[in-house]
Amino acid sequence: MTVRTRFAPSPTGYLHIGGVRTALFNWLFARKHGGQFILRIDDTDAGRNVKEALVPILHGFKWLGIDWDEGAEVGGPHAPYYQSQRLERYQAAVKTLLDKGLAYHDYATPEELKAERESAEKEKRPYHYSRRWLAETPADRAKFEAEGRKASVRLKMPREGACEFNDHIRGSMKVAWTQEQDHVVQRADGSCLYNLATVVDDFDMKITHVIRAEEHLSNTPRQIFIAQGLGYPLPEYAHLPFVAEPGSKRKLSKRELEKYLKNADFKKVNEHGRAVAEKLGLEMKPETFNPVIVDFYEQVGYLPQAIVNYLLLLGWAYDDKKEWFTRQEMIDLFCLEKVNKAAASFDVKKLFAFQDHYMQELSVEEKVQRVLPFLERAGVQSGQAVATVTAIVRAAGDRIKVAGDILDYCDFFTPDDRLKYDDKAFDKSIRNDANALPLLQRVADLLAKTEPFESAALEKSLHDFLQTEGLKFNQLHGPLRVALTGKAVGFGLFDTLAILGKERSLKRIELAAGRVNT
């Protein structure tokens, strides 16, 4: 048997981090067993589909390196892979179920169904549809339609016995049929619903293993009923623990950002991302730009391998020691038997630690290639200044946690007379310090004579100067850094001078001095 797995996102919103984890586990299982991974699009809910959401969903998988063998954009022998293009196939399946007496036309109105539910609640008994408006014969249908009613199609679920199946993660499962309702599989307008469509698709696309989030566990009995009714062989099932909110056991939602921001780590990561986005002029709607959505991490400058490595460990562990995995190790070592049953809490601090680890493993040259696109998007003409970018990256070292952090150093590319100053830092270090301006002027005279204008020579020259003047380094550090960069913080002062060069360093000291009396 060739292993075939699938992931079927709905284009009703942007790519959720929990959905990516599910797709990753399907991809790893297929790759581990030399099988195929299929990406099909669950777009049966036309009312909720967001056309523009499909592009970032597909792009997100490509960015993460989760490729697919068949499906959207790449095609394959079982096309079409969009559910909206498979309606005739679903309607044929509905007809089969009707012909076998495993489904029926139902003419109940929403108001009548609501009344039945309320009656069951009032009498404190389990609700089961009475099938009062069931129509099994043409005569029944004609009678109801004469009253102006429209029919949906419902499954005629068993009212005794149980559905039994095995789950690779949860073991032997048994669900009493009395817990199942007569689920609607076709709306009155002829469109078909998820539970039927996914069963037909899995059969047509020869899916052998259905690996999905545990929220779909309740769908399994009704889908088994449909599959058996249509004469399909059953796939093997594995229901993954859901990805939970930070520090909680509740499912992570991309719609509840404000609640998550009460978590200090989540808030810190979000603010970091927004700072990068603001420098790039990105649109920052909560529904499209927040740490629950994969696109957030690409826009900020995370590394795909950091995201994938972290998601691997959301609900799965090889042992109690190994955390860092190459892509090939992930494939070789992954197995469903090591997936946990308990919910996996989404820890943005842990994810950031993975990002930092992988970022610091890059060579300076690799980091430069990662950060250049961010400078270009910010309007910095870095194409002619790769040497400068390289020097900045080398000097910044582990201060660059994500590629977008390079934007903290855009002041190196800013024309000297357009440098923006942090007013608070300028006032504290220069304007309100009577000794700052005379000190900067003496330092400027020293810098003008320093050769070569390189970090080591500058360090020696300035330390000798401070010793002669009887000053401590922090007395010079603040005024000189603000004069050079407009900010109170940054990487090494000697590297800063060397990267700016003599002419620009002197010019910026002159401009800062002139700003004191403005």
Could you say which of 51, 62, 254, 401 is catalytic? 254
70-88 pLDDT, tens per residue? 999 999 999 999 998 999 9
- Dihedral (CA of 323, 326, 327, 331) sign: negative
Say whether 510 sits in a helix, a strand or coil: helix
Nearest to 374 by CA among 276, 303, 304: 276
Note the pLDDT of residue 287. 75
**The two structure tokens encoding residue 461:** 């020259």
Instruction: List the alpha helices (DSSP H) in 74-162.
Output: 87-99, 110-122, 138-146
Note the pLDDT of residue 102. 97
| Backbone φ and ψ of 242, nearest 5° | -75, 160
Provide mean pLDDT across the span 451-467. Answer: 96
Query: Residue 54's pLDDT band (boundaries 50, 70, 90)?
Result: confident
d(CA 245, CA 259): 10
102-148 pLDDT, tens per residue? 999 999 999 999 999 999 999 999 899 999 999 989 999 999 999 99
Count the residues in the chain: 518
Q: What percent of the chain has pLDDT over 90?
A: 86
- Show Cβ contacts of residue 191 under 8 Å, excluding neighbours closer than 6 positions: 44, 46, 87
170-223 pLDDT, tens per residue? 999 999 999 999 999 999 999 999 999 999 999 999 999 999 999 999 999 999
Provide mean pLDDT across the span 477-487. Answer: 96
pTM score > 0.75 for this model?
Answer: yes
The H or E element containing residue 354 is helix 348-361
Contact 279, 378 (CB under 8 A): yes
Nearest to 509 by CA among 414, 456, 436: 436
Cα-to-chain-centroid distance, residue 49 = 19
DSSP 442: H
- Dihedral (CA of 366, 377, 501, 402) sign: negative
d(CA 421, CA 403): 24
Query: Residue 384's pLDDT band (boundaries 50, 70, 90)?
Result: low
For the chain, how far is it from start to end, CA to CA, in angstroms?
79
- The maximal CA–CA distance of the chain, rounded, in angstroms, is 108
Provide mean pLDDT across the span 418-430. Answer: 95
Amino acid identity at 340:
N
Does the bond joining 11 to the residue before it have cis omega, within 30 degrees of 0?
A: no
Instruction: Answer yes or no: 254 catalytic.
Output: yes
d(CA 191, CA 184): 11
d(CA 72, CA 81): 6
